[in-house]
């Protein structure tokens, strides 16, 4: 028996808090490990924190434009796309948030995403294929899902998760290269220490290799939890869960391998992972979204 999704909302929010806490601890651990190897752990932590803050500030203030540019989305006016505009406007009023700007991605592959650091600065982007292939109630379900992400500040959380994961990966790559270069220099210079130094080297190298993997797992876990919550909020907003359930089934069947939306950095933002066909199942540990069957079943149990 599938438990109704609203019974898990509070639990999911608590889980997300701890996931982010672990994210930060993992990031600082990488910095500490690099600093430990270099002989100054505190400096490693401080430098890692500074890099993370700079990247997050850039993402916070410019992330929306970066995301829409990467997706190939362009803004449209009410006169250009009245059907889309009125759908977004009506559901925004019902959700009690400012109407986000509407964007179009000119591709026949149906999909949608939301971006923005807060409701007043948000956008909703849909593909041409989504507008052409979904009926009215299905389109409303998808738009309501994206508006729920905006209302719940999920888009900001998703951006921070991407930034933290990317920072950890970036620092880990630098750490591995620094360790390799430093080890070579140590050998040329006759060695830098005994067994203790070798043990530190192995620990730091292991952390540098495993940290990016853990970061990606945590990023995907946050995305999966938020998709369940957005599905539930969208159903509450429209009062018709079947519309979104039907839309998810349609969209999932029409993703294409090596398609125009298949950008690994953006996969977690779309309502359906554009690489779904390429990866087969969305139930793996590294999936950006919950399994489609579970999402649809939960919606139809509401």
List the chain pLDDT tens, one digit each, 302 residues: 344 445 445 665 666 677 677 777 877 877 787 777 777 888 888 887 887 788 778 777 887 888 899 899 999 999 999 999 999 999 999 999 999 999 999 999 999 999 888 889 899 999 999 999 999 999 999 999 999 999 888 877 776 666 666 667 776 777 667 666 655 445 444 444 555 556 566 766 676 677 667 666 666 666 677 888 899 999 999 999 999 999 999 999 999 877 788 877 788 889 998 887 654 444 455 567 888 999 999 999 98
Domain locations along the chain: 7-67+159-222, 69-154+239-301
Q: How far is CA 127 from the centre of its chain?
A: 19
Residue of 81, 138, 140, 146 with catalytic role? 146
CB 127 within 8 Å of CB 110: yes
Task: State the DSSP string of 139-160.
Answer: HHHHHHHHHHHHHTTHHHHHHH
- Would residue 199 be called left, alpha or beta, if left means φ above 0 and alpha means ψ between -120 and 50 degrees? alpha
Q: Which DSSP helix (H) or strand (E) runs through 104?
A: strand 101-105
List the one residue out of 161, 153, 270 whose CA is nearest residue 262: 270
- Note if 293 is an active site residue: no
Task: Give the 3-state secondary structure of residue 102.
Answer: strand
Residue entry with tokens 């600093």: 35
Query: CATH number of the domain at 69-154+239-301, out of 3.30.2010.10, 3.40.47.10, 3.40.190.10, 3.40.640.10?
Result: 3.30.2010.10
């Amino acid at each position: 028996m599938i438990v109704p999704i609203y019974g898990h909302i509070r639990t999911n929010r608590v889980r997300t808090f701890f996931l982010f806490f672990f994210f930060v601890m993992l990031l600082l651990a990488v910095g500490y490990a690099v600093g430990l190897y270099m002989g100054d752990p505190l400096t490693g932590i401080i430098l890692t924190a500074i890099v993370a803050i700079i990247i997050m500030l850039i993402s916070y203030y410019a992330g929306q434009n970066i995301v829409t540019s990467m997706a190939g989305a362009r803004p449209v006016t009410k006169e250009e796309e009245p059907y889309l505009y009125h759908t977004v406007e009506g559901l925004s009023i019902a959700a009690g948030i400012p109407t986000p700007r509407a964007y179009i991605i000119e591709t026949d592959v149906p999909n949608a995403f939301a971006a923005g650091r807060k409701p007043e600065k948000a956008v909703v982007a849909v593909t041409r294929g989504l507008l052409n292939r979904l009926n009215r109630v299905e389109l409303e379900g998808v738009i309501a899902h994206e508006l729920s992400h905006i209302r719940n500040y999920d888009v900001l959380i998703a951006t921070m998760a991407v930034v933290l994961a990317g920072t950890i990966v970036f620092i880990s790559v630098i750490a591995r290269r620094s360790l390799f270069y430093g080890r070579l220099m140590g050998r040329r210079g006759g060695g830098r220490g005994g067994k203790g130094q070798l043990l530190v080297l192995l620990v730091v190298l292991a952390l540098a290799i495993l940290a990016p993997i853990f970061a990606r797992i945590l990023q995907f876990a946050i995305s999966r939890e938020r998709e369940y919550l957005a599905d539930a909020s969208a159903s509450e907003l429209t009062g018709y869960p079947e519309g979104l359930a039907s839309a998810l089934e349609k969209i999932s069947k029409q993703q294409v391998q090596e398609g125009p939306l298949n950008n690994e950095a953006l996969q977690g933002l779309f309502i359906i992972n554009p690489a779904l066909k390429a990866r087969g199942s969305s139930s793996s540990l590294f999936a950006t979204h919950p399994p489609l069957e579970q999402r649809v079943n939960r919606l139809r149990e509401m």
